Structure 1
Amino acid sequence: MKTNLLDRITTLQSEDEFSGTVLVTNDKGILAEVSYGYANRSDQFKNRTSTRYGIASGCKLFTGIAICQLVEEGRLSFDLKLKECLNVDFPQFDEEITIHHLLTHTSGIPDYFDEEVMVDFEEMWIKHPMYHIRSLKDFLPLFQDQPMKFKAGERFHYNNAGYILLGLIVEQASKCNFSDYIQTHIFDKAGMGDSGYFELDALPANTALGYIDHPDGTWKTNIYSLPAKGGSDGGAFVTVKDMAKLWDALMNNVLLSEVTTQQLLTAHVRVDDEDNFYGYGLWIKKKGGEIQKYHVMGYDPGVSFHSAFYPETLNRVVVCSNKSEGAYGIMKGIEAELHVGSSISE
């Protein structure tokens, strides 16, 4: 199995010039651990297992866990309304929006980057320079005064702004900076010693630069394409081993009680007609009513990321890339080799 899996990954890497690190484990040990490409192309520093990668929206799961922790402590509840837990004015927002709506992308609020209608993430920063975006409140002018897209609870619509609000709710309820809260209550508890929210212009050692490749063979880094510091909707950095530790900690009730963990893992809303659902901060794939996998993904300029936990086999897969594309193809190939749940499309 190990040889076949590595052969499949190597073949896919050569076809797509994948740059990043792949880790596949189960309850018996490591099935695959391999890196390709450069964390720094100019100096030709190779990607390694210890390399930290941006994971974009993959860290919405951290935000979901943080909210669930504060619910456990009695500081919040899932049915608490936005107006009751955040001291920010939203003149056109539905007053019935709850934390549950925000967690499940059913709030109907406007997004600062609507992935259904917007293509170029970099256009966001023409009017709002990315180097000014270093805290959650810095995102508010991008959507705070815009009208609702639809009535709260009406349907699923993937929404980054909703997770910015959840991060602000975490800050207000915990009286702690969001990234500091995640560091103390999730990363430290899960043993994720190399993970964190880092500023793009002050990256620590062993952190991969994100690369955007052009059709003519030239490239650039993503430092001018993303907020200077990520937030509760995306932008943390992890190693593949740290992400595997996150799955272990979550599934073994280290971060939440068993009851609250199951609330987070519940398929709260159907996403499409292909048995894809959303829980609290993560995607859920079903087949015949059974859970095939829990998974997270993230795409930004210079970032592609997929990771999943498969409850039937206890497999954990982490695919981190410092290019805009590549993680999905590797993930799909691994799932085919392991005969486990197929991925939601890119």
Structure 2
Amino acid sequence: MLKNESLIENTLKRINSIEDFSGVVHMEKDKETLILTQAGYANRAEKIANKRDTRFGIASGCKLFTAVAICQLVESGMLSFETKITECMDFDFPNFDYNVTVHHLLTHSAGIPDYFDEDIMDDFEELWINKPMYLLKELKDFLPMFQNKNMAFKPGERFHYNNAGFILLGLIVEQRTGVGFTDYIEKNIFRRCGMDASGYFSLDRLPDHTALGYIEEKDGTWRTNTYSIPIKGGADGGAYVTAPEMNKFWDGLFSYKLLDEPTTNMLLSPHIEVKSDVDYGYGIWINKKADDVFKYHVMGYDPGVSFHSAFYPNTKIKLTIPSNKSNGPFKIMKLLEDELLTKG
């Protein structure tokens, strides 16, 4: 349960001291704001402060949007979770196992090669040395980076986080609906939830009230992430949201505005174990305590981007923390969970 207001106030005083935080913290329950605070600059050069309605990149935090879109197609009968990718895609994957299904892609268990394997590479910027980031404007532009590589393991064998799998899911959305992926998400997810400020924006055409991402250098200086991430986000990451609007998404998901109840339950089911007390559903992390779900959550990290957002089913609390730096939200979420949230 949520503890008293004086504890909230004392906790708030600690938030802004964490790693020179730059971003927004929004905690909400039943449409009542419990915490709303912001710090740092959306634009450092112009000293434009972050505000509650500032849009932030959320990197992989939007894989859940892709999963919801796929579930909508399943509901409409356009495919099933057991549909094989060879049955629903026109692209050639000469070395892929023909048994890879939509379910495998949604649960990071397909075993397909990734264009950025986080267990092998630790510098996302290295990808753009030979493949300029400004050329990656559509999902199909990512295919040459992985489509001819060999499988890493057999489908369903284990969990291994994979960005390329969600690129394929986005392409399935495009091929089955005839609509561009980002247009589909904006219309069928964002608009349904009242997320009118959220969207997929090109780095060279960012709208107003959008935070630039900042990378801290070892000498204490900084630079923007303009040349460090793909020019436009897509099915594996890169949407922009405000903190309050991400909490609107949680409202939409759990009030069945996006999917009917059985399909929502399918998305939220623990389909594969990641480690002790951590499972993965469809595009969503599931953390447990004493065999009970403590939180459903998403997270995202890119150079100059860090993001955590969660729904706590026992309290119905929604917590979203976007940042335009590479760190901060994880520690703040942990602090709030330890200080303010207990099971009850």
Per the normalisation by structure 2, the TM-score is: 0.97
**What corresponds to 1:255 in structure 2?**
258
- The aligned runs of 1:272-291 (5 Å cut-off) are 272-273=275-276, 275-291=277-293
Indicate yes or no: 2:338 matched with 1:332: no
Q: What secondary structure, in the 3-state scheme, does the structure 1 residue paired with 2:12 have?
A: helix
CA distance in 2: counterparts of 1:105 and 1:82, whole angstroms: 14
**What corresponds to 1:14 in structure 2?**
17
C-alpha distance after superposition, 1:99-128 (max 9, x if no partner)? 000000000001100011111100000010
Please state how far the C-alpha of 1:28 moved relative to its aligned partner.
6.1
- The aligned runs of 1:29-108 (5 Å cut-off) are 29-108=32-111
Q: What secondary structure, in the 3-state scheme, does the structure 2 residue paired with 1:123 have?
A: helix
Please state how far the C-alpha of 1:27 moved relative to its aligned partner.
1.9
Change (3 A) 1:2 1:322: farther
Contact 1:267-1:279 at 8 Å conserved across structures: yes
CA distance in 1: counterparts of 2:10 and 2:196, whole angstroms: 31
**What corresponds to 1:344 in structure 2?**
none
Q: What secondary structure, in the 3-state scheme, does the structure 2 residue paired with 1:185 have?
A: helix
Please state how far the C-alpha of 1:4 moved relative to its aligned partner.
2.2
CA distance in 2: counterparts of 1:331 and 1:197, whole angstroms: 25
Q: What secondary structure, in the 3-state scheme, does the structure 2 residue paired with 1:305 have?
A: strand
- The aligned runs of 1:312-327 (5 Å cut-off) are 312-327=314-329
C-alpha distance after superposition, 1:280-330 (max 9, x if no partner)? 111001122211110000000000000000011001000010001111011
**What corresponds to 1:187 in structure 2?**
190
Q: What secondary structure, in the 3-state scheme, does the structure 2 residue paired with 1:201 have?
A: helix
CA distance in 1: counterparts of 2:247 and 2:283, whole angstroms: 16
Please state how far the C-alpha of 1:3 moved relative to its aligned partner.
3.8
**What corresponds to 1:310 in structure 2?**
312
Change (3 A) 1:252 1:224: same
**What corresponds to 2:26 in structure 1?**
23
Residue segments in structure 1 that go unaligned for 5+ positions in a row: 342-346
Residue segments in structure 2 that go unaligned for 5+ positions in a row: none
CA distance in 1: counterparts of 2:19 and 2:286, whole angstroms: 27
- The aligned runs of 1:122-271 (5 Å cut-off) are 122-271=125-274
CA distance in 2: counterparts of 1:48 and 1:328, whole angstroms: 20
CA distance in 2: counterparts of 1:203 and 1:48, whole angstroms: 16
Q: 1:332 corresponds to which letter in structure 2?
A: K
2:117 is aligned, of 114, 118, 126, to: 114
* Count of residue correspondences: 340
Query: Which 10-residue stretch deviates more, 107-116 or 7-16?
Result: 7-16
CA distance in 1: counterparts of 2:166 and 2:309, whole angstroms: 19
CA distance in 1: counterparts of 2:313 and 2:158, whole angstroms: 28
Please state how far the C-alpha of 1:214 moved relative to its aligned partner.
1.2
Please state how far the C-alpha of 1:338 moved relative to its aligned partner.
2.0
Q: Percent identity?
A: 57
Please state how far the C-alpha of 1:217 moved relative to its aligned partner.
1.0
Give the 4+ runs in structure 1 shifted more than 4 A: none
C-alpha distance after superposition, 1:251-299 (max 9, x if no partner)? 01010000100000000000012x1000011100112221111000000
